[in-house]
Amino acid sequence: MTPDLDVPNPPDVTNRQVPAEIDEVSHDLEDLRRGEIETALRDGAWRQGFEEWAAYVDVDDEALGMVYDRELFQEFDFYYEPESDRVRASPPSLPAEWVESTSSPVVASLRTALDDLAEIVAEVLVADYLDWAETEEGDIIWREDTFGTVEPSIPEDEHGE
């Protein structure tokens, strides 16, 4: 990780609208599970993903400075997409005036780096922080109350006594 590259606070994803690629009519904000995702980000998923990303990111210091100065890390969005049953991540858009005044290779490099960060954090969320496995309808959970207690039987002796 670059020595002066501090881990920023995780983004607040609970204050976002339904993403354009999600059908607003058939899904509401709760379907996106943003509250659970934000909790996981704060519990360490953001830090873990960011540190993994920062260990190999190769972006111009000035470009990274712009991301920090404009607090673009706060604009990352993470949400659950019900149709595909997966966590999605959206990196922030770069400011138009910065893109216009910066060389194309630097802009492309930064866009790729931000996309990578989004993907890494989403992978960390799924692999280490979110467990949304549901019990299938056919799965049986064996407990005493499933069948009740079984009374011990007393074997009769050979003579029926």
- The per-residue pLDDT for range 24-81, each reduced to its tens digit, is 555 556 678 888 999 999 999 999 999 999 999 999 888 999 999 999 999 999 988 8
Measured CA to CA, the distance from residue 31 to residue 39 in angstroms comes to: 16
Query: Residue 74 corresponds to which tokens in the numbers above?
Result: 């706060």
**Domain segments of the chain: what residues?**
29-133
Q: What gap in Å lies between CA 39 and CA 21, rounded to an integer?
A: 23
85-108 average pLDDT score = 92
Give ∠ CA 37-40-43 in degrees, rounded to 5. Answer: 155
What confidence score (pLDDT) does residue 136 get? Answer: 47
pLDDT score, position 134 = 56
Instruction: Report the pLDDT averaged over residues 4-16.
Output: 86
Q: Quote the pTM value.
A: 0.76
For the chain, give the mean pLDDT. 81
Q: What is the arithmetic mean of pLDDT over 12-35?
A: 71
Q: State the pLDDT at residue 69.
A: 93
